[in-house]
Amino acid sequence: MRNPVLVATATVVTLLLTGCGSGSSGQPGEIRLRMIESLTGPERTKLIKSLLADFERANPGVTVELISPPLDSADQKITQILQTKKGLDVLEVRDHTAKSFSNNGWLAELPTTEWAGWPALTELAQKKAVEVGGKAYLIPYGFYQRTLFYRTDFGMTAPPATWQELYEAGKRMTTGDRYGYSFRGGKGGADYAVMMISAYNGDQLNPEKSFYLKDKRTIFSTPEAAQALDLFVKIFKEASPPDSVSWGYPEMVQGFTSGVTGMLIQDPEVIKTVEESGVTAWSTAPIPKGPTGYAYQPVGYAGWGVTSFSEHPAEAVKLVQFLSEAEQSIAFAKGNSLIPISKEAQNDPQFSQGAWKAYLQAQQDPKQVITIRPVDYPGWSQFLVDSDRDVQSLITGKKGTAEVLKAWDAFWVDQAKKVS
């Protein structure tokens, strides 16, 4: 008896490849590239198609077919196509797929030093391009990095520079049906606890392995971690809406734009949401620091790569380089509210003024540090589930900070043994 799931999967791959087999075209001598995106969305796809049309005009004889799978299953579809090793030239590579794709030999190494556009990339873009194995398997198209959003109509004259100041400002704002902070108690909430714990560990933390200290203990093992987690609970109980015990991304943003909360920490795509909400009295600032003056956070990213089996590698590389040039990459960053990869963007009013200025300030501050999370450790996915559950228990009083930190410390001590 045939497995219906396997039949359906095979049918999907066949359909994708039928319409996108690489190389052939209706015109003799014409080169047709096939490109697939992952974070699909109507407006985003429309923007990519306009950039591809510009590329085709600049490169007569080369056409590009864009494949846009549904967002929820896009990475699965990309993996299925890569496993066939045919019918694809350019693809979207995300920070969490780059390592597996390159380890399987599906990605070609991109030229860097011999590419004239490489020096025009920001230091962060260059660093993330070669993050996997020291080789450029993708060129990032933009970054997601958190910043503090605050409402100036809540009586705040200057943003909090530290987590302690955020707590105190949040308490002052909390009155009646207004609250200080958009707390994330639902899925993903533990990431905010880790961000605070990291800041409180200060310069002891190892940014390259950010769940560990430079002396190889975990960041959850210190007295500073307990101070941070105690304050995390106080921010929830004394400066945040009770309903935020279950808030995720949409509720946090809605709380801020609706006037329920006065502060929010989120990614740059929220800038567009706030602008379109009609709220006018607001601003942004770099995320708060710990007592020793350090703030730590990972940066999310994705980019464009070339398959190792492309039938037209020169043209595929040329397309990735075209999309990564200042004009195209800045247009893409603007259209998707991303932190741009081009140094030239620092002269663009959109990225050097207003709400975006906080990102430039953070990049220029050596104590606003970008970290690397242990996403390649075997227990990473399990920790995401367990830690969110522990945060729920913590803020509802079912567990104490010592119990939670002891469990997190033991978990990552064990993980260190598994990768050593």
Please give the average per-residue pLDDT across 59-66, as a whole number: 97
Element (H or E) spanning 144, and its range?
strand 139-144
Distance CA 208, CA 182 (A): 29
Please give the average per-residue pLDDT across 378-407, as a whole number: 96
pLDDT tens, 293-335? 999 999 989 999 999 999 999 999 999 999 999 999 999 999 9
Please give the C-alpha separations between residue 6 and each of 44, 70, 82, 85, 361, in angstroms, as whole numbers: 31, 19, 17, 19, 51
Exposed / middle / buried, residue 419 (Cβ in 10 Å: 0-12, 13-18, 19+) = exposed
Please give the C-alpha separations between residue 327 and each of 23, 104, 263, in angstroms, as whole numbers: 28, 33, 34
pLDDT tens, 148-177? 999 999 988 899 999 999 999 999 999 999
Distance CA 52, CA 8 (A): 31
What pLDDT band is residue 359 in, cutting at 50, 70 and 90? Answer: confident
Return the pLDDT at 5.
35
The answer for residues whose C-beta is within 8 angstroms of residue 58's C-beta and 6 or more apart is 322
Domains observed in the chain: 31-144+300-341 (3.40.190.10), 147-298+370-417 (3.40.190.10)
Return the pLDDT at 191.
95
Sign of CA pseudo-dihedral 239, 243, 248, 253: negative
pLDDT tens, 189-239? 999 999 999 999 999 999 999 999 999 999 999 999 999 999 999 999 999
The residue among 10 and 138 whose pLDDT is bigger is: 138
Report whether pLDDT(50) > 90: yes
Report residue 113 as tokens. Answer: 């030093």
Can you tell me which residue has the tokens 């605050």? 150
Distance CA 310, CA 87 (A): 8
pLDDT tens, 23-33? 545 566 799 99
Helix runs in 266-399, H state only: 269-277, 313-324, 326-336, 349-352, 357-363, 380-395
